A and B are shown apart, each in its own frame.
Chain A
């Protein structure tokens, strides 16, 4: 699975869009990009995933560059409850189980 690189921490003002970058330059053609987040002391929560097209759901948008070497998770109107660690994960899903390799993620702090 692809190695992903994320900034250690980011800040965002409440109500503004939070844009979280992820580099995955070694990603292979059949690897999906997953985003999970972990709010303090809780279990990780699925946000979104995509292969090469941009994706949007009720929580966030995922923008993947054309060369697939990087992506950006967008929380359109960040709230204080979005303060969490955000994990970008590359996974083929091709194993017999859902292999998710969690790195250290980005600590997003949303300020009032």
Chain B
């Protein structure tokens, strides 16, 4: 199993541009998550999904959108990028919610200039 994969690894955007961060998992997990990590800080939850077609906001959803059309994929969309969105973005998945272990992808490092 590849686990959780993310693309791209790195990206530089100009202010106002849009992009989609891709996340795919091959573990048949129902739950998927998007986190961001600012320098020297812990992770903050942006959005999560409990299954295909179901998504909900986390702590810091403003400026982002998500969709979950399949079990495997959970893309994160940035519309009108701002410098405050410069961060490392991690996708994670778990078999279910609650106490189940979350498995993280390698991250996407995004810089908005």
Decide: B97 and A102 in contact? CB cutoff 8 A: no
**Known contacts A43-B90, A44-B43; is-contact A96 B97 (Cβ 8 Å):** yes
Q: Which of B63-96 contact A (CB under 8 A)?
A: 88, 90, 92, 94, 96
Q: Is the CB of B99 within 8 A of A93?
A: yes
Known: A42-B107, A44-B90. A98 touches B42 (CB 8 A): no
B106, A43: Cβ atoms closer than 8 Å = yes
B102 touches A100 (CB 8 A): yes
A49 pairs with B99, CB closer than 8 A: yes
Chain A residues with CB under 8 Å of B37's CB are 102
Residue of B nearest to A87 (CB): B42
Q: Kindly list chain A residues whose C-beta atoms are within 8 Å of the C-beta of B99.
A: 32, 49, 91, 93, 98
Residues on the B chain within 8 Å of A93, using CB:
97-99
- Quick check: is A90 within 8 A (CB to CB) of the other chain? no
Let me know if B28 is at the binding interface, CB within 8 A.
Answer: no
Q: Which residue of A lies closest to B95 (CB)?
A: A98
Interface size class of B (residues with CB under 8 A): 20 to 34
B101 within 8 A of A: yes
Could you say which residues of chain B place their CB within 8 Å of the CB of A101? 42
Name the B residues within 8 Å of A87 (CB-CB): 42
Inter-chain contacts of B98 with A (CB < 8 A): 93-95, 97-98
B97–A97 touching, CB < 8 Å: yes
User: Cβ of A105: which chain B residues have Cβ within 8 Å of it?
Assistant: 42
Complex Cα–Cα for A32 and B99 (A) = 8
A46 touches B103 (CB 8 A): yes
Interfacial residues, chain B to chain A (CB-CB below 8 A): 4, 31, 33, 35, 37, 40-45, 48, 50, 56, 88, 90, 92, 94, 96-107
User: What is the interface of chain A, defined by CB distance below 8 A to chain B?
Assistant: 32, 41-46, 49, 87, 91, 93-105
Please list the 8 inter-chain residue pairs (A to B) with the smallest Cβ-Cβ separation, ordered nearest first.
A43-B104, A102-B42, A93-B99, A93-B98, A102-B43, A97-B97, A46-B101, A97-B48
